Structure 1
Amino acid sequence: MRAVILTALIVLAVCATGQAQAQSAADRLNDYPTEARADYVFGCMATNGRSSDVLRRCACSIDVIASIVPYDKYVEAETVLSLQQVGGERMSIFRTTAMAKELVASVRRAQAEADILCF
């Protein structure tokens, strides 16, 4: 089972790398669907407060993240983070593999840069 999951992650990474290189910077800035941006802003506002200033800062934050991390990588990292919350031996692959850790780390680095620029 681990080999199948690991193989699937590798295939996703290879495909995503090729697609990311083919996209222009403008395409990457606009590849986050409105629903994903809104979901991020709602979560950000739940954490930081519900004011118009926080709304502006949270919107800025997802814009910065979108400029750094392609949407497919963002989705992969969010999926890994979600799977890391599930207990059990089978899910440990999402907590221990270098690829899973790097996916999450790339989004966290982008969030840290967004925090610096927007908050």
Structure 2
Amino acid sequence: MMQGRFLLAVLVLLPAAAFADGYPTAARADYVLGCMASNGNTRLALEKCSCAIDAIAEQLPFSRYEEAETALRMQAAPMGERGAIFRDPPEIRRALEELRQAQAEATLRCF
């Protein structure tokens, strides 16, 4: 009887523990889809890309990941001088460096 309660408790708590890092499913899916597109859209790419976002999530809080991803998107957009606000501030540069470091470690672990 006690084992059944323990198993039920584990099953109830598992989803919360699995996503305690705060990364929403949509953000994880976006990363994996983009990564897969860059790596051949294969089953192996799915496994490696899923591993990579998990590794990034272990290293970088979602708020910091979101900040860096937003800066990258804004830097890629044709905005002229307005794009400088997403390149020049030290805080943005730090967020981008943290993301690049997390991605490099994820690549070493997963690819």
TM-score by length of 1: 0.73
Q: Which has the larger radius of gyration?
A: 2
1:114 is the counterpart of 2:102? no
Runs of 4+ in 1 over 6 A off after TM superposition: none
From 35, 43, 59, give the equivalent of 2:34.
43
Q: For residues 9-48 of structure 1, what are the structure 2 equivalents within 5 Å? A: 29-48=20-39
- Aligned equivalents of 1:58 and 1:73: distance in 2? 19
Matched residue type, 2:69: E
1:103 is the counterpart of 2:95? yes
For structure 1, list consecutive stretches of 5 or more residues without a partner in the other structure. 1-25
- Aligned equivalents of 1:79 and 1:47: distance in 2? 19
From 80, 83, 99, give the equivalent of 2:71.
80
Q: Deviations over 1:24-66 (max 9, x none)?
A: xx68753101111011000000000122111111000000000
Matched residue type, 1:101: R
Aligned Cα root-mean-square deviation (Å): 1.7
For structure 2, list consecutive stretches of 5 or more residues without a partner in the other structure. 1-16
Number of aligned residue pairs: give it.
94
